Amino acid sequence: MAIGGLSRKAGLTALRREGLDISVWQFLKLGLIVMPPALVVALACV
């Protein structure tokens, strides 16, 4: 399993442990929204 797959599984497990039932598709859509700005900020800090 790739590192991205492990992080997805860990993230979904953590959310479900907190009582949030989120599908893989919802998780991926949110990631597509959050990742680009986070990447820009991270690269701007280097």
Dump pLDDT digits (tens) for 6-19.
878 888 889 899 99
Please report, rounded to a whole number, the percentage of residues in the chain having pLDDT higher than 70: 91
How many structural domains does the chain have?
1
Q: Looking at residue 1, what is its pLDDT? A: 46
Number of separate helices (H) and strands (E) present in the chain: 2, 0
Which residue, 21, 18, 24, is CA-closest to 5?
Answer: 24
Could you give the residue ranges of the DSSP H alpha helices within the chain? 3-17, 24-44
Which residue, 14, 23, 40, 10, is CA-closest to 1?
Answer: 10
Question: What's the domain range around 12?
Answer: 3-44
The verdict on pTM exceeding 0.85 is no
Q: 13 with 24: CB under 8 angstroms?
A: no
